[in-house]
Amino acid sequence: MRRVCASLTACLCLSASALSMAAELTLDLPGGPRHWQTSALLNHPQAREIEIPADVAYKRVMYYRAVPLASLLEGVQAGDHLQVVASDGFAAELPAAPVLAQSAATAWLAIEDPARPWPALAKGKPSAGPFYLVWSEPQKSDIGTEQWPYQVASIRLLAPVAKRFPALLPAANSAPDVQAGFAQFQKNCLACHRLNGAGDAQFGPDLNLPFNPTEYFATDFLARYIRDPQNLRRWPQGRMPGFSQEALSDEQLGQLLAYLRHMAGRKVVSAP
């Protein structure tokens, strides 16, 4: 009898644990807010098992239960702009077009099943769950590593970055590489960093106030830092990932640096 009671207690504890791990995703879209529970997403009509050969978060092949993200974005148009916000303040900016595309890379919302939790991202760290935006064949749409947000809490439709945050804009007559660098900044940096106090991220430091990194990194050290932060400045608590040639080509890195140098001369300081 004790053995039966013990087994029943264990089952109840496991059930309670699974329920406690269930999560909620908030979608703030044209039709109004909608909330998806883990169980509903796992049982979504379009949910399926997928393989991601080169997972950005886990750096290996991963298998997920996932739904095409486009299937959740009712009312969103290709010209719209999305922001995917993680529980730690990471805020990935995404044009809607590649998310909705049917013939290029495919955006999937991977759902962590409480009964089969994903592995930890590192020792002492949580998993990438409860929700994780992953891509099939990302190279077909030039999807960057910062466009794989994990621990996702919400997805919302917003105006484009340039309209929301004019303090990020380079001068209208700036060089083409500066303009291209602004696009690289939005894609690769804005998810973690603000600039001139502008942006929604709550993750990394401002990249222009009080000083721009081009003002305190000598010669080519900023480029080296972006490529491999820990190789240049070892810091156990450092969370910035390195950007490989595949993620950010030398040409694109040069454009990003041109934008940062340009913005060093366009500081916008808010009134106290």
**What is the average pLDDT across 77-89?**
93
Average pLDDT score over the chain: 87
Query: For domain 23-158, is the CATH number 3.90.420.10?
Result: yes
CB 196 within 8 A of CB 167: yes
Please return the burial class of 222, using the count of CB atoms within 10 Å of its CB with bins 0-12, 13-18 and 19+: buried
55 residue type, one letter? D
Fold that domain 162-264 belongs to in CATH: Immunoglobulin-like (2.60.40)
Please name the residues in contact with 161: beta carbons below 8 A apart, sequence gap of 6 or more.
Answer: 81, 93, 168, 186, 190
**What is the average pLDDT across 66-87?**
95
Long-range contacts of 116-123 (CB under 8 A, 24+ apart): 117/21, 119/58, 121/57, 121/58, 121/150
At residue 7 the predicted structure's pLDDT band, cuts being 50, 70 and 90, is very low
CB 257 within 8 A of CB 220: no
Give, for 111, the enclosing helix (H) or strand (E).
Answer: strand 106-111
Please name the residues in contact with 36: beta carbons below 8 A apart, sequence gap of 6 or more.
Answer: 24, 25, 27, 72
111 residue type, one letter? I
pLDDT digits over 251-263, tens only?
999 999 999 999 9
Is the pLDDT assigned to residue 237 strictly greater than 90? Answer: no
Is the pLDDT assigned to residue 24 strictly greater than 50? Answer: yes
pLDDT digits over 203-235, tens only?
789 999 999 999 999 878 999 989 988 776 666
**CA end-to-end span of the chain, whole Å?**
69
pTM of the predicted structure, to 2 decimals: 0.80
- pLDDT at residue 160, rounded to an integer: 92
List the structure tokens of 56. Answer: 């950005």
CB 234 within 8 A of CB 247: no
Higher-confidence position of 54 and 22: 54
**What is the average pLDDT across 85-104?**
90
Q: Give the domain ranges of the chain.
A: 23-158, 162-264
Q: What is the C-alpha separation between 197 and 266, in angstroms, rounded?
A: 12
- pLDDT at residue 40, rounded to an integer: 97
